[in-house]
Structure 1
Amino acid sequence: MFKRQFLTFTLILCTTISCKNTGVENGKEDSKSTNRPNILFIMSDDHAYQAISAYDTTLIKTPHIDRIAKEGMLFTNASVTNSICAPSRATILTGKHTHLNGKIDNLTPFDTTQVTFPQLFKRAGYQTAMFGKLHFGNSPKGFDEFKIVPGQGSYINPDFITTKGDTIQKTGYATDIITDFTLDWLDTKRNPEKPFLMLYLHKAPHRAWWPNAAKFKAFSKRKFPEPESLFDDYQNRGTAAKTAEMNIFKHMLLSYDCKVFPETLAEMEVDTDPRNTRLFNGGDFYRMNPEQLQLYKPVVDSITNHFKENWPKMNDQEKTSWKYQRYIQDYLACISSVDDNVGRVLDYLDKNDLAKNTIVIYTSDQGFYLGEHGWFDKRFMYNESFKTPLLIKWPNQIKPGTTSDEMVQNLDFAQTFLEAAGISAPEDMQGESLIPLLTGNTEIWDRDGVYYHYYEYPAEHAVKRHYGIATKTHKLMHFYHDVDEWELYDLEKDPNEMNNVYANPEYSSVVDQLKKELDALRKKYKDSPELDRKFIDSYNKKKSKK
């Protein structure tokens, strides 16, 4: 105990000294400060860890993203607190669980009185910028400059809301344009006398997965291995897995998702879901100029012709495989562009002598299903959705090529960045700084389990509300609202989470212990059954008004 207290005191003392050395005291900037690290936070939307070759080489090679791990640290047990886009982003910005920052789902407005870490950075003298996808609010606080896509944004010829409050449209591909904005700011607008905080946020690879024209053509001709659980029948899981609406065979749309022309579906009387028209009649295909159409249309023609010729002859399993290939081709093609563009930014840092004093973080707002359990999308606490990629490099602080299997979350990002910059974190932030893990002081890290809570139900994809605790060895989840079911997974014996062992007598002591730990986490993070009821009642009121 004494050793632990001493180490904690030492870290606090070092951090305090660091704050004074960096010239940040009482939230004010010392104009003579020059040694505070820059921070480049790179986040993609729905980027599964399985689709980064530093984690798994089965599907794709991502050499540029991998560079961050080779020069820094790869986290194998990083996770989110709520696996859905806007709530995840709100947690990252505020350092608080969604039940406290108020952004529990994609529909609830973000409470703009919440203090975000970019506001603290700006107040402390950092130059701040954000380019790409925020997903909520059109006027984020704490940025000297931003260009953000409205809502989900578009892949082709996207619109951007600017710091001036106007909206501009840029011709081209979103991933390239967001990178162009980032590089231009670093090259022409960055004040070399100040450290910078840059949020470089990709829209890709969010549904409906439009690659750039060259990669669309190339990847549409490739065939990828299927996951072992593509044809999962959910027999050893509860109601939630059986009733979710994200099954590739049943719920993936042939036009909107798979890029078959809707006129062909109408002609064949196949998949008449009205959402299929969104992509071609009002979405990215609709936004293309004549030159872009000349590049994309032949590929869509090829996909459509192949579908028309082969679909009627396929059985259900073959149809599932066909949909999976179409999905994964476009998804991975989008990621390939992200990787290319991350390389552009890393190269810029290297060539302009910025890399040595810049912390680079690559992550996603959550994980994603790439056919595992037969699914696409996210939301569940099962691994592919719950876990998120996290790679961080910090020259002279992180030993290159290191790996951490500690239980970390996006809840921890804000406090990590603030400590690295020597800025005091607000007391109501709920995460833990990752600095001890990054710098090798692992003795003072003692987190054994992490907390998760998902709220957006009933809604798209029909994933039931649930909360739970995950440790390195087990995961316990409680599904509630219109069900009352528990699930337990032995992650060592069943890493693919195929068998719920909650009712198995051999695990009774594990259940009892995890329930105690879960209750403790609920109290620690100020979550409760009363809040659960409050959010359900609020949702029902909104629904009744509609």
Structure 2
Amino acid sequence: LAHQNVTFVELLRSAGYDTALIGKSHIQNVTDWPTQFEPKKYRDGFKAPPKNLKQAVKIDLDEPSYHYEQERFWGKDNPVVPKPFYGFDDYISVLRHGANSGGDFEIWLKENAPEMIPFHGHTEQFAHDYICPQAIRTKLPEKFYSTSFIADQASQWIEKRKGNKKPFFLMVSFPDPHHPFTPPGKYWDMYRPEEMPIPHAFEVNDWDPPEYVKIAEKDRAKDKSLGKKAGYSLAVSKQEALEARALTGGMISMIDDAVGKVRDALVASQLETKTVQIYTSDHGDHLGDHRLLFKGAEQYDTITHVPFIWADPQGKKGERSSDLAQTLDIGTTILEHAKVEATEGMQGQVMSVAGGAAREVAFIQYDNQRTQEAFGKEPRVHTIIHRQYRLSVYRGICENELFDLKADPNEMSNLWDDEDYSSIKHELIQKLLEIEIDAIDRVPLPTAQG
């Protein structure tokens, strides 16, 4: 995220809020791996632009202020992220995932439990019989795992506020649940694979998978070791899927316990009756649905549909809603509840939990630099999700998709070429075009006419 962008957290801070982020941010590049975008090839006889003019926007993402989530920064002596960090007065970072989490957590581990360093990472593990890709039975005890660290740091931050009259915004961000699957201690076998629901795709015999599933299955059949370091969707067996679900359940239960500790800190600090608590996630995982694991350019509900809980001690209680919303609506909704005006150009809308209206459709844009065989080079896909339908338009080699979510909630039958749905398809394409127009950036705004 370019530093020129205004965040909703900056607006809260400017309105007098104390702000903090404890855990994973994912606002900047999180690896030191070279980009997979091919550099522009300049022609013989033509003058190539200098480095500061090579892109249409003059933002150098390779300058040091964009290194705060990369190993090149945290490998230095005494790394300190300048504050405020995108509006956060306090920032305690936890980078990466699983038992290999880095940032401030890794520094804390070295200083407070140096004997645990040999177990930090994914090399040392207890023996186990799981075959699921990236199932790692870490030797890190629960109290030295990143989830516990985040809960402890968040609780301490809250407890220090007892008696403080200033409003605050605290973002507590757990890297789990996510692959690799590394729930520590009792959370490893808290759930058994045989207790997990079997993914629908393993129970049907007449499903003709889309090409990207067929390619994933073909690639995995040729190389069973593919999943060891894979970051994108991977074909799996039923047993692997059930194991992934069980281990994910363990990670979620550990977060449940960690959230309980943070909530206890609110109570101890006498803040629970005046603090809105929000629970959500950035994405899902296939976890065996459509015979896949992890995530990629696929637009299935298991990836795009995440929970959202708005717990306002002075608001409505016990209500469930199927209203559509988008991630960018969260910041706008928080500002609305805080009675802080959003800045010009913010595209989120106020959610119904804060008095706004539900969206007619949700809009998703997927843009990735990494070539995926089934989706082509630098895959892009734009999707709208209606209460009854999901329409996805892919750039490149992948087939477009239309699903009737009411008749086919498991998204098994692509209706894009079905004549009976042609009018629905054209109506949704029209809606997608309208949303694309609405999503065009209009800032900076002109300062005069003409």
TM-score, scaled to structure 1: 0.58
Instruction: Name 2:446's counterpart in structure 1.
Output: none
Q: Does 1:199 align with 2:171?
A: yes
Q: How does 1:299-310 map to 2 (within 5 A)?
A: none
| Residue type at the aligned position of 1:393 | A
Q: How does 1:109-508 map to 2 (within 5 A)?
A: 110-137=1-28, 138=68, 139=81, 140-150=85-95, 152-155=96-99, 158-161=101-104, 167-169=107-109, 171=113, 172-188=144-160, 192-219=164-191, 223-230=195-202, 236=208, 238-243=210-215, 245=216, 251=220, 271=224, 276=228, 320-379=237-296, 380-397=298-315, 399-434=316-351, 437-438=352-353, 441=355, 445=357, 447-456=359-368, 458-459=370-371, 464-483=379-398, 485-508=399-422
Change in CA separation of 1:361 and 1:507 when aligned onto 2, cut-off 3 Å: same
Change in CA separation of 1:324 and 1:277 when aligned onto 2, cut-off 3 Å: closer
Instruction: Name 1:295's counterpart in structure 2.
Output: none
**Partner of 1:408: helix, strand, or coil?**
coil
| Preserved contact between residue 127 and residue 191 of structure 1 (Cα < 8 Å) | no
Alignment partners' CA distance in 2, 1:427 and 1:234: 51
Query: What is the deviation of 1:322?
Result: 2.7
Query: What is the deviation of 1:386?
Result: 1.1
**Partner of 1:477: helix, strand, or coil?**
strand
| Residue type at the aligned position of 2:392 | M
Deviations 1:364-396 (A, max 9, x none): 111221211111123322111111111111122
Query: What is the deviation of 1:455?
Result: 1.4
Query: What is the deviation of 1:178?
Result: 0.4
Gaps of 5+ in 2: 29-67, 69-80, 114-143, 442-450
Gaps of 5+ in 1: 1-109, 254-269, 279-316, 528-546
Alignment partners' CA distance in 2, 1:373 and 1:190: 49
Change in CA separation of 1:509 and 1:217 when aligned onto 2, cut-off 3 Å: closer
Alignment partners' CA distance in 1, 2:344 and 2:257: 39
Alignment partners' CA distance in 2, 1:480 and 1:214: 45
Alignment partners' CA distance in 2, 1:413 and 1:277: 32
Deviations 1:17-64 (A, max 9, x none): xxxxxxxxxxxxxxxxxxxxxxxxxxxxxxxxxxxxxxxxxxxxxxxx
Query: What is the deviation of 1:495?
Result: 0.9
| Residue type at the aligned position of 1:203 | P
| Residue type at the aligned position of 2:4 | T
| Preserved contact between residue 332 and residue 349 of structure 2 (Cα < 8 Å) | yes
Deviates more, 1:326-335 or 1:495-504: 326-335
Change in CA separation of 1:412 and 1:250 when aligned onto 2, cut-off 3 Å: same
Change in CA separation of 1:460 and 1:214 when aligned onto 2, cut-off 3 Å: farther
Deviations 1:165-204 (A, max 9, x none): x944364011111000000111125671211100000011
**Partner of 1:369: helix, strand, or coil?**
coil
Query: What is the deviation of 1:466?
Result: 1.2
RMSD (Å) for aligned C-alpha atoms: 3.0
| Preserved contact between residue 201 and residue 207 of structure 2 (Cα < 8 Å) | no
The structure where helix makes up a greater share of residues is: 1
TM-score, scaled to structure 2: 0.70
Instruction: Name 2:116's counterpart in structure 1.
Output: none
Change in CA separation of 1:203 and 1:324 when aligned onto 2, cut-off 3 Å: same
| Residue type at the aligned position of 2:428 | L
Identity across aligned pairs (percent)? 27
Alignment partners' CA distance in 1, 2:221 and 2:334: 38
| Preserved contact between residue 364 and residue 388 of structure 1 (Cα < 8 Å) | yes
Higher relative CO (Cα under 8 Å, sequence separation at least 6) belongs to 1
| Preserved contact between residue 361 and residue 386 of structure 2 (Cα < 8 Å) | yes
Change in CA separation of 1:351 and 1:114 when aligned onto 2, cut-off 3 Å: same
**Partner of 1:149: helix, strand, or coil?**
strand
Alignment partners' CA distance in 1, 2:166 and 2:440: 38
| Preserved contact between residue 126 and residue 196 of structure 1 (Cα < 8 Å) | yes
Alignment partners' CA distance in 2, 1:331 and 1:250: 25
| Preserved contact between residue 219 and residue 330 of structure 1 (Cα < 8 Å) | yes
Query: What is the deviation of 1:250?
Result: 6.1
**Partner of 2:200: helix, strand, or coil?**
coil
| Residue type at the aligned position of 1:345 | V
Q: How does 1:100-111 map to 2 (within 5 A)?
A: 110-111=1-2
Change in CA separation of 1:128 and 1:154 when aligned onto 2, cut-off 3 Å: same
| Residue type at the aligned position of 2:282 | D
**Partner of 1:503: helix, strand, or coil?**
coil
**Partner of 2:183: helix, strand, or coil?**
coil
Alignment partners' CA distance in 1, 2:146 and 2:440: 39
| Preserved contact between residue 412 and residue 432 of structure 1 (Cα < 8 Å) | yes
Alignment partners' CA distance in 2, 1:353 and 1:376: 42
| Preserved contact between residue 159 and residue 168 of structure 1 (Cα < 8 Å) | no
